Each structure stands twice: as C-alpha cells, then as structure tokens.
Amino acid sequence: MSLSGLEGRRVIVCCGSGGVGKTTISAGIALALANRGARVAVVTIDPARRLAAALGLAELGDDPRQVPIGPTGGSGELWALQLDAKATFDRLVCRHAPTPEAAERILANRIYAHLSGAVAGSQEYMAVERLNELTDDPRFEVVVLDTPPAQNALDFLDAPTRITHFIEGKSLRMLLSPGAAAGNLGWRMLHAGSSTVFSILERVTGAQLLRDLSEFLGAFDGMYTGFSERAERVRTLLHSPRAAFVVVSSADDEPVREAVMLVERLTADGYPLGPAVMNRIRPRADLPPPPRHALVEALAGAGATHADDLADRTLAQLADDEARARRDHDACTRLARLLGDREPVQVPDFADEPVEIAGLEHVADALAR
C-alpha cells in the first residue's frame, strides 16, 4: 500500500461484509497513521469487548477518548469513540432546533423516540452525521470510520438522503396536500384530514398515528435546511480526494463477492477508492512436508505412544493448512485482478484475535508494510 495511499486523507471509510474484521482493520489503520505522527480518531461500531477495553471504551464512550499508545516519533495521537446513534441524533436536534422548547418537543415525540432509537436506518445516518462533527473538530487530522453492519454494506451512504427526505416531509407534504410547497407543515397536515389520500391512509393507520406523525414533522419545521445542508456536506466530502474508501474482505467466497460489488458501486458513484485489505490471510508454506518416517521417529523420540497415528494427523493438518493458504492466496489474486491488478494489502491470520493494543500493533505493521 500501503498506507501511502491513505496519507493526507481527512476521512477513511472502512467497508465490507459482516464478519471480515472491519472494526479491527479500522483500529489498525488508525493506529498505523497515529504511529506516523497523525492525530487520528477512529469511530467504532460495536467493537469486541476486549478491543473496546483496549481502546478505553469500556463504558461505551460516545465522546472521543485518547488511547495510550507507544512512542509515535512525533505528534501522533490515537483517539477512539463508539457510535451512539441516539446521542448523536439528540445533539443534532438540540443544535438545529430554533428554540429550546422546539427541541424539547421533538425529543418528547413518540415517533422521534422510535426513529432515533431504531437500529435500522438511524445508525447508518448517525454514522455519517458523526463524521460531520468529527471532521469539524480541530483535535483530529484524520477520522477513520468503521461502517455499521447492514444488509448492504453501503446502506449508510444512502441513509442521509433517505432520512432527510423523510424528515423534510417532502413526500408526505405532497401526499397530503399536493399544492403545498411551503408553509407551516404541521398546521397544513393537521388540517389536511379531508384530503383523499390522507383519509385512505388514516383507514389503515388510525387517526392517532397520523396525528403524531404530523406533529413530529411539524416540530422539524424550519430545521430542514440544516439537516439537508449537513447531508450535502458529507456527500461532498466523501466524494472528494480528501476521503478514501478501504474495502475490507476475508478470503471467504461471500465476502470477496461483496468486496467486488462494493468496489464497482463505489467506482460507479465516484467515491475515491483507497487500497483493498484482505484480512486473516494464511501464508503459504515455504518448506515441503517432512518425510513421514522422520516425523514418526521424532514423535516417538518425544514420547508419543502412537507415533504413527500422531504423525498422520500432523501431516493431515499440514496439508489442510496448505489448502487454506492456497485458497487465501487465490482469493487475493482474484481480488487483485478484479481491482485492475492493484494488489490488496494482506493482513495475516494471527494465532490470537488482535483485540489488544499489542495485537493491533501487529495489524498496523502489516498494513504499513
């Protein structure tokens, strides 16, 4: 790479299918950049407990905390935080509401409580929103974002548009009173009961749900601009050369396919691609297997009661390891070919899951190699 492709970027987004080790790689990239003297914040989403503990996030910090790391040979700093979608949404509302009373009204609305607390949708949106906040924060030169688990690994890119559309109430406004382009939405909606579509919907949802919805959208009146401006800012940033998308995969079939789809989609949509990372890659053996008789002899000498049997199992294990390593190697080659012969960065499969700073240093080293 390796990391040279990422130097000078303001935002690094790690994406890939579930279970490939995105969080570990995000933390590894952040650590590697900090080791090179950058002030880095990594936004993690549901990190493993020991990783969270290593990053100082044991008590679910939504606030960035500085992680103690070794000497960085400069001003390098590593900060970490865990995404808290609800807290981020609440802050956003308080910041953009015209008055404290308006903010209160939104925070107390039942629809809002479900919307902000729901995992589906809001987490993706809030990851993007948190990115906005952190890139404004002068403490950090680089923000590394781990993306939320989703059916589609890029859901979070569409989330801002989807949620702002809903909050802006464009669709509802047009649905409920097609002539109304502006004006006090809450009022209009409450008085739109006579419109045909409204009454059809009301038959299904019951009047109260629609009333809550009108209130909710009414409470957001006047905040739309703030919301859509911020969504637009992130979109611009993520399309600029100051951002880089790192696609992470393991050698398994499904993640590789997903990685290829991600690369295609990111390229088609004009997002800047960073290097691809292949995680948990097993090295090919550099030696042939030992002759069976020599192994049997060595095991018998070490006190094995059934040296033949143990030798056979050992040789079988060696063959299995080689088969896996060959498969991993092939997957890397396949991905490289699909990426136009850009070699993915390989992170080896460590004997123990890298969930402590010492382990992350190994990941960082592999990434920086």
Residue 193 lies near another protein (rule: CB under 8 A): no
Subset of residues 21 to 50 that bind another protein, contact rule: CB under 8 A: 23, 46, 48-50
Subset of residues 207 to 236 that bind another protein, contact rule: CB under 8 A: 207-209, 212
Quick one: which segment of 19-27, 184-192, 220-228, 268-276 binds another protein (CB under 8 A)?
Answer: 19-27
Q: Which is nearer to another protein, 118 or 137 (CB)?
A: 118
Q: Which is nearer to another protein, 170 or 239 (CB)?
A: 170
Which of 1, 46, 82 shows the shortest CA–CA distance to 246? 1
Whether the CA torsion 290, 294, 295, 296 is positive or negative: it is positive
Subset of residues 161 to 180 that bind another protein, contact rule: CB under 8 A: 162-163, 165-166, 170-172, 174-175
Residue 253 lies near another protein (rule: CB under 8 A): yes
Q: Which residues, in sequence order, are CB contacts of 311 under 8 Å at separation 6+?
A: 292, 295, 296, 299
Subset of residues 291 to 330 that bind another protein, contact rule: CB under 8 A: 291, 294-295, 298-299, 301-304, 310, 313-321, 323-324, 327
Q: Which of 58, 60, 108, 285 binds another protein (CB under 8 A)?
A: 285
Binders of another protein: how many residues, by CB under 8 A?
80
DSSP 273: B
Residue 264 lies near another protein (rule: CB under 8 A): no
At CB < 8 A and 24+ separation, what contacts does 353-356 make? Answer: 353/24, 353/48, 354/24, 354/28, 355/24, 355/48, 355/50, 355/51, 355/54, 356/50, 356/51, 356/54
In terms of DSSP bridges, do strands 243-249 and 11-15 run parallel, antiparallel, or are they unpaired? parallel
Q: How far is the CB of 20 from another protein (least distance, A)?
A: 7
* Rounded Cα–Cα distance for residues 110 and 108 (Å): 6
Q: Which is nearer to another protein, 137 or 232 (CB)?
A: 232
Q: Which residues, in sequence order, are CB contacts of 85 under 8 Å at separation 6+?
A: 116, 119, 122, 123, 125, 126, 127
Q: How far is the CB of 64 from another protein (least distance, A)?
A: 22
Q: Which is nearer to another protein, 137 or 253 (CB)?
A: 253
* Rounded Cα–Cα distance for residues 219 and 186 (Å): 7
* Rounded Cα–Cα distance for residues 278 and 247 (Å): 9
Q: Which is nearer to another protein, 10 or 252 (CB)?
A: 252
Q: Which is nearer to another protein, 138 or 291 (CB)?
A: 291
Quick one: which segment of 75-83, 249-257, 264-272, 358-366 binds another protein (CB under 8 A)?
Answer: 249-257
Subset of residues 57 to 96 that bind another protein, contact rule: CB under 8 A: none
Q: Which of 26, 35, 123, 135 binds another protein (CB under 8 A)?
A: 123
Q: Which helix (DSSP H) or strand (DSSP E) does residue 23 occupy?
A: helix 22-35
Give the pair of three-digit tokens for residue 91: 């802050």
Q: Which residues, in sequence order, are CB contacts of 354 under 8 Å at separation 6+?
A: 24, 28, 360, 362, 363
DSSP 349: -
Binding mask 324-363 for another protein (x = CB under 8 A): x--x-----------------------xxx-x--------
Output the CA torsion 41→30→45→275 (10° steps): 130
